[in-house]
Amino acid sequence: MHKARLEDINQLFLEYRRLFEARDAEQIADFFRFPLHYFFSDGKKSPLQRGYFIGRVKKLLRLYERLGVTQIVGAVTDVIELNENTSLASLNWVLLDTSGEKPRQIYSAMTRYIVCEFEGELKIDGLIAVDETSRIRESLRNLKSH
């Protein structure tokens, strides 16, 4: 893989993470090419349109707010070049509450993205989801018990 491409992918996800922290669903959607190819954790897949995707992101952002997420750390852990325009990027996301004396990890999740160069711009064309439901529920239970 070309070093410049790897740097571009890292930069893409740095900005993507920043917008999640800013809780801006509309601008988050700008990183994607629609219809988005969404691969569910149960093996199903679906093409998602922009409006539906924004609704799902808004719901996720509300959950993050409820959980007290104030910082998101995303590290690209692996990039596989699939062809000259397409890569599979794996990211480990760590959600933190930094409001206290020490940062508290709420949970982490590994997510994979299909990233394509399209019309001279890197876009996320596919999202291979992990089921974060159990992690979110556990985090909500932990929040209630404190």
Identify residue 41 by its one-letter amino acid code: S
**Strand pairing report for 104-118 and 45-48:** unpaired
Q: Where are the beta strands (DSSP E) in the chain?
A: 32-39, 45-48, 71-83, 86-97, 104-118, 121-128
CATH 3.10.450.50 is right for the domain spanning 3-145: yes
Q: What is the pLDDT of residues 32-60, one digit of tens each?
A: 999 999 998 888 999 999 999 999 999 99
For residue 132, is pLDDT > 90? no
Task: Delimit the domains of the chain by residue range.
Answer: 3-145
pLDDT bucket at 3, cuts 50 / 70 / 90: confident
